[in-house]
Structure 1
Amino acid sequence: MVDPTSDHHEDIDKDEAPNCATCGDPIANETTHRVLTWIEEGAVQTAHFCDEQCRSDWDGE
């Protein structure tokens, strides 16, 4: 898995790219990539999204 703070839209192989938490598509080389990060039970959690629409669909915001 690629470091979540890296530029996922630059030269990332789909096999190493994170998957969208909403639609499941790999997010490789996409400038529309969005990431939400939060703390849950003392651990950092992240959710990746291929675009703003998938992010909005995931949490309704």
Structure 2
Amino acid sequence: MVDPTSDLGTDVDESDAPTCATCGDPIVQSATHRVVTWIEDGSVRHRHFCSDDCRDAYDG
């Protein structure tokens, strides 16, 4: 997976792209890409979502 702080719109192919935590689709050059970040047990955690709908539907 690519560095989540990088520009995900450039030079990322589907095999290296993050996947949506809800539907599992690769997220490549998507204007609706959302990342939710939180701290858990002293570590930074994050989840990628392909859209607001997938973020809202996530049950994790």
TM range (shorter): 0.7 to 0.9
| Corresponding residue for residue 31 of structure 2 | 31
Task: Work out whether residues 36 and 47 of structure 1, in 8 Å CA contact, stay in contact via their aligned partners in 2.
Answer: yes
- TM-score when normalising by structure 1: 0.86
2:46 is the counterpart of 1:46: yes
Query: What is the aligned-residue RMSD (CA, Å)?
Result: 1.2
Gaps of 5+ in 1: none
Gaps of 5+ in 2: none
SS at match of 1:45: strand
Q: Percent identity?
A: 59
After TM superposition, where is structure 1 displaced by more than 6 Å over at least 4 residues in a row? none
Instruction: Measure, in 2, the Cα distance between the counterparts of 1:57 and 1:19.
Output: 15
- TM-score when normalising by structure 2: 0.87
